[in-house]
Structure 1
């Protein structure tokens, strides 16, 4: 069922917090007023550096303009060898790339920011940049490296009085544990963070922590605690109009109600999540909400509805770009560590023999590069596995909706052209007395009963190489021979019909359903046209006189009997014993020859 489905994609909650951390205190009005001073161009020295830092920090409406100010700040700071402002410039630049999803460039900027703060022993800067580096590695699911940097970040920030940054780092640290399924460790970090946030009345931090704690409880199956914490978080965030985390938390509320088997409420939460994500352009969450909706409809057996949601999830996920980012991010860390060791070796060369330390440096460099390559290959293999699993699941969903040849055409061309098949065999069935029986059932019991029969029918069709086309109420439609090898599958369809009939008879005596139906089956063979109908929630269908006659064979059949047309009879008469019924009148068709399969 739905509540057992696993999340197929890594969801970052704490990283909304990097935006909160960075945006705390930002003000576009300040940027607008400072831009007037900037245009006058009458400042220099520290005043000019301060102006550029504040402009880059406060510019919210135009990220590209913020990056321009950051680059100008870096250039001027390097000319004046002012490392604290070099740190600020690269930090702003790193946040720009982080928020745009370019983790490789973000890491390069964060490492340079950290290097500058190290040169002047700027403790707060060191802590903030180590935290930003850790956040970047968590995005690429490099949890071991991320934990190293989080621990360094906390060690530096604890030496300051910066409670907001400490709370931010703790919540991101907890989020790394959460996504690595270390739930107890995640709870420990979230609870430390929320204590700090409540002490300083930091509502945004409190809301994120409550929501994240609720997510942990949801993963642990503690639904009452989960629902309570998530609802408190949503209440706070709605007042602050912070919709990104709300969109994530709503998917967890959906999980909770799905476990309660309240599927209508669960679906409502998922649809609300997707609508919020689309309204505010939250691409990551558009992907996640589409995935969850796909899983929901798949768990209910509605594959035709599930597939478009899954397709949208893949579009927004953009796994290929993520793979490149994972590879490059591994290179960034290797290059940064190598540059640090080279600098250390250079200082030590002043007092020690050049040849000895050069040899040590080269050996260390080789080992470090080998380790970096090992890490990178490990990430590539893991990401390739994710891609393969996503592709396999997508193909499986598509093949549950369409015949194999048609599914391949849809993947190759993005559309399916209607095709004429010269000879196929079509089956229709329905249950005698179903309408009267259904009147005494609840909707849930009715769906359960129908599902019991149709699930077995699907398996029967699969065993005989036939295709289910659709179901309408208690009617079931299938076809054989949707290929160009001139095999109409008439024999296989008769065998499948006999199995269906036997199953219905047997079901009268089993404990799975109280139904006592008889089934009527009609079969006809001839040409049809097949194709995909519609664009959204598309359906594969067949049309033609052959289909209409098959339907008439079913309506003129008798309970427990298989009624076939003369066209089908001619193809199977040497394999099955049949009884000629004569020419019976059929609505809108005149008199048609019919046969019962014995």
Structure 2
């Protein structure tokens, strides 16, 4: 099985004032002592605000921390202390971010920034810029993150706060790294290390060397990467920073793997996975499981590869389900907001009309009163009807959005199941070396992968049941060329055409059969192999041509040999209400198909 996996460390983003220097045991002890102080009931309102905010900062339970931060903000509002409100909002933003609620975190940061701007507190504005950058990095909007970090860096460059300046520069380097601006990232990390020679901060030193090492790994500067990773791990290990240490251990394993030190690489991957499990880091468990799957597959240890593939799938499904639940909850919240806005709008309309009729009653006669009464009744009926239509429209919109999410989830599950079947077929084929059944199993595996790719496209794109044919065919064909180690590249000439799932599935199998047949048999003793795929739309029909310059192909002989592939091609073209021209030729093969679009 070809397992496509790109490992990348998540954002080690630093909260400017506090979060970079504390251990878990210290946090719990301080939070416990602060809670006991709160129970004394002898604190003023301002003291309660400060104590609750510190509880939120130190407490390891994020739900308790968030509740404390919100209480702190509420009391700060009661006593009308703007600065304390902004500081509580900062704390809320940090905690919501750690809980994965990026939208709520962004909202809290923006509100805090507005308060600091009104108070003309530049360094606090810089801290808010940094947190906003963190939110945008979490949403993979690296350009905005870089813009806000540059604003923060400019403010700190004109202040005496060297530590915050160094931390912001470190964060800027990480934003550059994630945006793949590797030279800028390396420069930022090196500048931070130079600044830290004066600060002598272990956290800054460890993260700077670790993240710089990740840049070096990408640039294949393996010796520098290995040296910096070992230094970072040695610095951060006593601080019990399981998240960063596990990431750096896995990165060190990648370096060893590139250097051909496979046993050392395996040990580091396993050590990183064990640390992630110990700390309950689900995303890292998923990523390290995928890393081990790819590693064991490259080492031809297929049972171990399958074991970690199953582990990856379990955690991937868990995280995807979590994301979908959050999206559905956001839709429900949006539905409630829309409903409230409709009710408010209706009440405002009624209020305006009532004022109009009061004036009319004051100056009108009895006949006008009677006329107004009938008009009021008719207007009321119209409003009731409009209200019902508005509510029904909102409900329909909500259901359509939920249906789209569920459809994407269904395609995701089908894709995962097909990938698991492909993995099992691949592993089985390795057990049948020299056996006549191996070729049939390999052919079946590629057919399953063609179907899996259809559902992958449906899951990734914002379309309900349609596939962009050009992108799909390119990925399918290039995957087959890679699987058969082809020494040349195919030539594509295809229009942008969307097809339905009912068309995409049989068409995927037809193209798979033709390309596999060409790669296996067509290019024996051919010096300059070529393959061209042409697709165009003719009204409601799709014209497909697949041309190679191979040794030729006779369909009559294939039919006499009872070829399953040929039978499958003709059967599927018939299912698509199309026609196909037989490719009888001694100088290459030219398939022509004309199928109906749906």
**TM range, smaller chain:** 0.5 to 0.7
Q: 1:434 is matched with which residue?
A: none
Q: 1:22 is matched with which residue?
A: 19
Residue deviations 1:164-202 (CA, integer Å, cap 9, x gap): 332222222222221221111111221222223332110
Q: 1:339 is matched with which residue?
A: none
Residue deviations 1:500-556 (CA, integer Å, cap 9, x gap): xxx9xxxxxxxxxxxxxxxxxxxxxxxxxxxxxxxxxxxxxxxxxxxxxxxxxxxxx
Query: How far apart in 1 are the matches of 2:104 and 2:423?
Result: 42
Q: 1:219 is matched with which residue?
A: 218
Query: How far apart in 1 are the matches of 2:440 and 2:120?
Result: 73
Q: 1:241 is matched with which residue?
A: 240
Tell me the CA shift for residue 131 of structure 1: 0.6
Q: 1:312 is matched with which residue?
A: 314
Tell me the CA shift for residue 203 of structure 1: 0.4
Q: 2:442 is matched with which residue?
A: 462
User: Quick check: 2:282–2:315 contact (8 Å CA) kept in 1?
Assistant: no
Say if 1:199 and 1:246 are closer, same or farther in 2 by CA, change over 3 A: same
Tell me the CA shift for residue 388 of structure 1: 11
Task: Tell me whether 70-79 or 82-91 shows the greater mean CA deviation.
Answer: 70-79
Query: How far apart in 2 are the matches of 1:109 and 1:278?
Result: 32
Q: 1:417 is matched with which residue?
A: none
Residue deviations 1:262-288 (CA, integer Å, cap 9, x gap): 222222111111100001112221121
User: Quick check: 1:71–1:93 contact (8 Å CA) kept in 2?
Assistant: yes
User: Quick check: 1:294–1:309 contact (8 Å CA) kept in 2?
Assistant: no
Tell me the CA shift for residue 34 of structure 1: 3.1
User: Quick check: 1:214–1:227 contact (8 Å CA) kept in 2?
Assistant: yes
Q: 2:9 is matched with which residue?
A: 11
Say if 1:216 and 1:389 are closer, same or farther in 2 by CA, change over 3 A: farther
Q: 2:103 is matched with which residue?
A: 104
Say if 1:464 and 1:125 are closer, same or farther in 2 by CA, change over 3 A: closer
Q: 1:60 is matched with which residue?
A: 59
Q: 1:76 is matched with which residue?
A: 75
Residue deviations 1:320-343 (CA, integer Å, cap 9, x gap): 6179679979x99xxxxxxxxxxx
Tell me the CA shift for residue 218 of structure 1: 0.5
Q: 1:38 is matched with which residue?
A: 38
Residue deviations 1:62-118 (CA, integer Å, cap 9, x gap): 333322321122112222322111111011111111111111211121112212222
Query: How far apart in 1 are the matches of 2:442 and 2:96?
Result: 50
Within 5 Å, which residues of 2 pair with 1:18-417? 18=15, 21-22=18-19, 24=21, 27-57=27-57, 59-301=58-300, 302=302, 304-318=306-320, 321=323, 394-395=416-417, 397-402=419-424
Tell me the CA shift for residue 241 of structure 1: 2.2
Say if 1:391 and 1:458 are closer, same or farther in 2 by CA, change over 3 A: farther
Tell me the CA shift for residue 21 of structure 1: 4.5
Query: How far apart in 2 are the matches of 1:21 and 1:111?
Result: 19
Query: How far apart in 1 are the matches of 2:446 and 2:326?
Result: 42
User: Quick check: 2:213–2:228 contact (8 Å CA) kept in 1?
Assistant: yes
SS in structure 1 of the partner of residue 39 of structure 2? helix
Tell me the CA shift for residue 221 of structure 1: 0.7
Give the aligned length: 377
Query: How far apart in 2 are the matches of 1:62 and 1:228?
Result: 36
SS in structure 2 of the partner of residue 40 of structure 1? coil
Q: 1:413 is matched with which residue?
A: none
Say if 1:327 and 1:112 are closer, same or farther in 2 by CA, change over 3 A: farther
Query: How far apart in 2 are the matches of 1:327 and 1:221?
Result: 44
SS in structure 2 of the partner of residue 239 of structure 1? helix
User: Quick check: 2:176–2:182 contact (8 Å CA) kept in 1?
Assistant: yes
Tell me the CA shift for residue 403 of structure 1: 6.2
Query: How far apart in 2 are the matches of 1:62 and 1:219?
Result: 36
Within 5 Å, which residues of 2 pair with 1:404-553? 458-459=438-439, 461-463=441-443
User: Quick check: 1:56–1:92 contact (8 Å CA) kept in 2?
Assistant: yes
Query: How far apart in 1 are the matches of 2:435 and 2:124?
Result: 61
User: Quick check: 2:167–2:204 contact (8 Å CA) kept in 1?
Assistant: yes
User: Quick check: 1:211–1:230 contact (8 Å CA) kept in 2?
Assistant: yes
Tell me the CA shift for residue 160 of structure 1: 3.0
User: Quick check: 1:291–1:313 contact (8 Å CA) kept in 2?
Assistant: no
Q: Per residue, is there more helix in 1 or in 2?
A: 2
User: Quick check: 1:104–1:328 contact (8 Å CA) kept in 2?
Assistant: no
SS in structure 2 of the partner of residue 12 of structure 1? coil
Q: Per residue, is there more strand in 1 or in 2?
A: 1
Within 5 Å, which residues of 2 pair with 1:587-598? none
Query: How far apart in 1 are the matches of 2:436 and 2:197?
Result: 57
Q: 2:346 is matched with which residue?
A: none
SS in structure 2 of the partner of residue 114 of structure 1? helix
User: Quick check: 1:21–1:168 contact (8 Å CA) kept in 2?
Assistant: no
User: Quick check: 2:130–2:148 contact (8 Å CA) kept in 1?
Assistant: yes
Say if 1:47 and 1:306 are closer, same or farther in 2 by CA, change over 3 A: closer
Query: How far apart in 1 are the matches of 2:188 and 2:212?
Result: 10
State TM-score, norm by structure 1: 0.55
Say if 1:230 and 1:21 are closer, same or farther in 2 by CA, change over 3 A: farther
Tell me the CA shift for residue 456 of structure 1: 10
Structure 2: unaligned runs, 5 residues or longer: 335-404, 448-520, 522-560, 563-598
